[in-house]
Amino acid sequence: MIVVSDTSPITSLLQIDRAELLTRIYSEVLIPPAVRHELVVFHPVRPAFIRTVPIVNPSECEKLLELMDAGEAEAIVLAKELGAEELLMDDAAGRRLAQKQGLNVIGLLGVILESKGRGFVPSVRDLMDELESRAGFYVSEPVRNLILREAGEL
């Protein structure tokens, strides 16, 4: 399975020492150069399963830069270029644009739900609490309740 990621899902999991969830689900996560650059600022050492892949057509990114940051733009373009099965992205505007372009987008909460479904984590609630307290990952109450219901924890 080809999966491309934006910065935030990786950063959030690195901050709580749970990046292995990505490798357990995907084995390898591809990122564009702009995402690598954003990650290096706070995480100079990245897990081996994260591999940087260059963008073939940078002019496609230029069109998106008016709407989003470079990491999001390059992640969308790379996902399209590679025919990725999933794009990991949390930014709402970026997700909408990626979906309009036919990409299957999953956010960090989707990764957490998948991890619970595969038995990699015992509690979605505990992981969301940890993301909020240690990584500053905000989840609105309605979304939190929806995710907890889907996880069978509400």
Instruction: Provide the token pair at 119.
Output: 């038995």
> Which CATH superfamily, name and number, covers 3-108?
5'-nuclease (3.40.50.1010)
The one-letter amino acid code at 105 reads V
Amino acid 63: pLDDT:
86
- Beta partners for residue 105, in sequence order: 87
Instruction: Give phi and psi for 52, each to the nearest 5.
Output: -85, 130
Task: Specify the DSSP class assigned to residue 137.
Answer: -
Q: Model confidence over 97-115: pLDDT tens digits?
A: 999 999 999 999 999 999 9
Q: Is 28 helix (H, G, I), strand (E, B) or coil?
A: coil
**What does the pLDDT average to over 25-37?**
95
What is the C-alpha separation between 51 and 43, in angstroms, rounded?
14
DSSP H helical segments within 16-154, as ranges?
20-26, 33-42, 58-64, 70-82, 92-100, 108-117, 124-135, 141-150
Containing 13, the helix (H) or strand (E) segment is helix 7-15
What is the C-alpha separation between 88 and 107, in angstroms, rounded?
5
Model confidence band, residue 66 (pLDDT cutoffs 50, 70, 90): confident
Domain segments of the chain as ranges: 3-108, 109-150
**What does the pLDDT average to over 33-37?**
96
Mean pLDDT, the chain, rounded, equals 94
- Give percent of the chain above pLDDT 70: 100
The one-letter amino acid code at 130 reads E
**What does the pLDDT average to over 137-148?**
94
Amino acid 76: pLDDT:
97
